[in-house]
Structures are given as structure tokens and as C-alpha cells.
Amino acid sequence: MVRWVERSLLPAVDRESASQLIHYENRQKDWGAALPDLPGHILEVYQTWRDDPDESWVRLYKGPATLDPVAGLVFVQGKVVWGSTDARPRVRERSPKWQAHWGGNHRRFDAVISLRSIFESNYFHYLNDVLPKLRLIEQLGLPESIPVVVSNRLATCRFFADTVRLGFFGGRQVIVQGAREAIAAKEVYVPSDFDCDRAAYDWLCDRLGAGRHSSKGDAIYVHRGASSPNRRGYRNEAEVFRLMARHSVRVIDPAEHTLAEQVDLFSGAGLVIGPHGAGLANLLFRRGPGNLIELFNPNIGTPHYYLIARLRGLGYRWRYNLNPQGKENVASSEMDVVAVEAALKELMG
């Protein structure tokens, strides 16, 4: 009902009439005709995504325009522009904070670049969706004098602060948008890059100092520690640690490391094993031979880390976790130690 009211009764303007498409590319997904070896529920998502368009674009909205604090919807002259975020197919744009746009108390700029994204504070989406926007902006040659806008939610994340400290944004100003604040500008640039893109990953590696490795590299287990944003932990954790110790696999909790440390650790890792989750996004920093063993709770997950492994030339294996308990998205489980140890022996000899 709320969605119907928003779409049908509240003031809106068509995206095509409200914006100028200043950059556009689409590409055929090179996913191959044969289906990969993936869990059944992941394979269903893979098959659905395979037919979705894969696009890279930048739109320019000319004001008076305002940027919504929830997920970056653009308003033009007080009217919402549905479809103005970077939401991919089948991702619903979130309801905006309508009243934030109808008052006059805004910070105002001549032009801004929106780095806002639907899942921006998730580490995977930060690396995959948010930072590559800057690559598009630089390719188009937009002046460094135009600032970028990020959410207050993202700005509080350690990995964002680390990115700033590493000088990732150069001399470009970063505007932190408040949780209830609409940012006003005469021009708003909204970029969106390809999903799981090799060129974007190489650009990130170069920008963040990920080395190239030809050696076998270390073995890393990605541990979901106490500070993990979800509760999908292992109830047989002590047994898991003993397994990793037997095979000289280093246990790493990415949340305990700076972004620079994660880049260094994972760029040198020839084998990564861990549960499905954002910590596996660090695979994109590996530019050398290697393997991934991804561990799934039934009915939870996406093919993203399989796709990253494929782009990086890494071997891929998966195993199911046992006895999940709780709601699917936060269910604890037990690692299938026997199955995982067999995979480790196969890969490590």
C-alpha cells in the first residue's frame, strides 16, 4: 500500500526527461553456456542473473535537484525521480525521506557526484559498487573540483575511513550526507559501473597497492568474528580452528585488520576458505594463481564470489554447512569438518 501511494499519488518526474545520459555502455555477459558447479539455490540465482542486462552509465540531473539521504534517489524541483539510484534489476529502490526535500534548509553546491548506493555500507558492495563509480568519473574527465557525496552510514565504517587515509579520493572533497539531510545542487552526477568487472578490480588493485604474485601463496581461513555485522557463526568453532591448525591455514578476521592490511593479506593468499559473506570480497585483490573454498548455509547466498574467483582465474569449490539454526539470514551452523578437510587435502597435498 505504501509503495502504491508513493508511486501513484506523490509527485514524481520521469527519469528520461529529468536527466541527460552522458555515458552508457552495455555488454554481453561472458558466463558461458555450461552451468557451473554451484549449490542448487545459488545456481537458480546465477541463471536468473545471467539474463539480466550488464550496464555502465552516468546520468546528469540538472537542478534545482536534491539527493535523498536514504539511498541516493534524486529529486528534481521537489519531485522524485524513480530509477535514479544504482539499483540493479530486481532490487527495489527504498522509500525516500519525502519531507527532507520540501524544506529550504539544505547544504547547496554547484555540482556533486553521488557515490550513494543501495547496499553501500556492506564491504562487498563498497568494493564492487561504490568505489568503481569514481573510475567512471575519472574516465569522463570530470573536474576534481566537483565533490563526491557519501552517506553518514558509510562514513562511520572503518574501511571507508581507511580508504580516505590511503588518499584514494585524491584532492576531491568528500561530503558526508546526514541521515535526514537532502543535499542540494545545480547538477547531480549519478554513476553506476558494471557488476563484477575485471577492469574495475584491476583499477582498485592498482589504486590500493595490491601486488601481483606468481607464487602459490599463503592459505587463509576467513573467520567471522564477534564484530561481524551478522550472526552466521559456527557452533563448532573450536573444531574448525583445530582443523585449520592441522593444515597450517592462517585464521583471519578481516574486521580486525585495516583495509591496507587486508589488501596485503589477500593479494598474497593462494588459498582462501570461508563462509559466504563480505569478507570474501578481498578475493578481488589476488592477482596470481589460487583457489577458493566457499561454505554455504542452505538457502542463503549469491554467486558473487564464484564470479570474482572466475574473473581472477581462481579454482572454485563449495561445501554446505550443517544443521543451520535460526532465521536463514542469521542462522548459526556447523562446519562440515570432514568434507572441508577432504577439500583441503586435495588442494594442499
pLDDT of residue 287: 93
Distance from C-alpha of 210 to C-alpha of 264, rounded to nearest angstrom: 6
Residue 12 β-bridge partners: 80
For the cut 70, the answer to whether the pLDDT of residue 229 exceeds it is no
Tens digit of each residue's pLDDT (9 = 90 or more) over 25-34: 999 888 877 8
- Share the mean pLDDT of the chain: 94
What pLDDT is attached to residue 318?
A: 98
Q: What's the mean pLDDT in 226-230?
A: 67
In this prediction, residues 7-22 reach a mean pLDDT of: 91
Instruction: Please spell the DSSP secondary structure of 294-312, one letter per residue.
Output: EEE-TT---SHHHHHHHHT
Q: Which of 104-108, 228-232, 236-240, 295-299 has the lowest mean pLDDT?
A: 228-232
Question: Percentage of residues in the chain with pLDDT exceeding 90?
Answer: 84
| Opening angle at CA 155, ends 153 and 159, nearest 5 | 110
Within the chain, all domains assigned CATH 3.40.50 are found at: 207-348
Query: Could you give the C-alpha distances from 175 to 54, 115, 161, in angstroms and in order?
Result: 29, 10, 13
- The CATH code for residues 207-348 is 3.40.50
Of 185, 238, 192, nearest to 77 (Cα)? Answer: 185
182-223 pLDDT, tens per residue? Answer: 999 999 999 999 999 999 999 999 999 999 888 889 999 999
Beta bridge partners of 317: 293
The pLDDT of residue 153 is 97
166/55 Cα distance (integer angstroms): 29
Peptide bond into 36 cis (omega under 30): no
pTM: 0.95
Q: How many CB atoms lie within 10 A of CB 111?
A: 18
pLDDT at 31: 85
- Give me the pLDDT at residue 230, please: 65
pLDDT at 328 exceeding the cut of 90: no
State phi, psi for 269 to the nearest 5 degrees.
-95, 120
DSSP state of 234: B
Checking if the pLDDT of 66 tops 70, the result is yes
| Confidence band of 89 (pLDDT split at 50, 70, 90) | confident
Q: How confident is the model at residue 135 (pLDDT cuts 50, 70, 90)?
A: very high
DSSP designation for 209: T
Angstrom distance (rounded) from CA 137 to CA 171: 14
320, 167 Cβ separation under 8 angstroms: no
Q: 157-168, pLDDT tens digit by residue?
A: 999 999 999 999
pLDDT at 104: 78
pLDDT of residue 185: 97
pLDDT in the model for residue 67 = 98
> Rounded CA gap, 231 and 138, in Å?
38
The distance from CA 102 to its chain's CA centroid, rounded to whole angstroms, is 31
The three-state secondary structure class of 318 is strand
